[in-house]
Amino acid sequence: MLLPLFPLKTVLFPGALLPLHVFEPRYRQLLADVTAGDRRFGLLPPGLAAEPPDRGAVGCVAAVKAVMPLPEGRATIVVGGERRFRLRELIPASTPYLQGRAEWLDDLLDVQVPTEQDLERLRDLGERYARALHRLADQTLDVQLPRPAAELSFEIASLLEWEFEARQRFLEIRSTTERVERLLHALPVLVDHAEERALVHTQSAQNGRGKIL
């Protein structure tokens, strides 16, 4: 599988949406080429020593969902994460952007799958976290998380305010059970902190309108 490549220190999870600002000429060309084609490119981390990604780097196919043109040829786009891949090699190309040969990176078969109780607990924690984030952004969006375990694990991970390295490690995990377990371990503290921040934010906003706390 040959993919146009966009090396970026940002992690895109399968099923998640991500806004990107496209301003460099080479990536403006990439955007023009993919929107004229199947609207897909590979988003993956840059290499350790230089921008070209290292062989074996894990990324996610990004499908262009929306394009908002900006002055001077720039654009803000929204991409949706699809399937994960591993970069096998860079391919010499005449394009100003990189292209590479990749292979799909799917989950391995778990010996023990997550229980329904674990998934319900994870869904509850994820919905609480999402609601807290919406309150912090003064939004009242309805939260509906996917039911399949693999999709659920990536959807929740896309919400978390983790550093790049932690998000990248999570993307590379090939066990749904392991991802669920890691989220169940991390989320309780994260949810408590997010809900505390949301409460303070709401109270501060109410006080600013003259209400007595």
pLDDT in tens, 161-204: 899 999 999 999 999 999 999 999 999 999 999 999 999 988 87
Both tokens assigned to 139:
């939004």
Token look-up 């999570």 returns: 170
Return the H-helix or E-strand segment holding 85: strand 75-91
Report the pLDDT value the prediction gives residue 207, as an integer from 0 to 100. 67
* CATH number among 3.40.50.800, 2.30.130.40, 2.30.30.230, 3.30.9.10, domain 2-104: 2.30.130.40
For 128-152, the pLDDT digits (tens) are: 999 999 998 888 767 678 789 999 9
Picking from 157, 14, 143, 154, the residue whose alpha carbon sits closest to that of residue 81 is 14
Q: How far apart are CA 143 and CA 81, in angstroms?
A: 19
Q: Between helices 149-159 and 176-208, what is the axis angle to 10°?
A: 40
Domain boundaries, the chain: 2-104, 116-208
> Residue 49 — pLDDT band, cuts 50, 70, 90?
confident
Reported pTM: 0.90
* pLDDT for res 208: 56
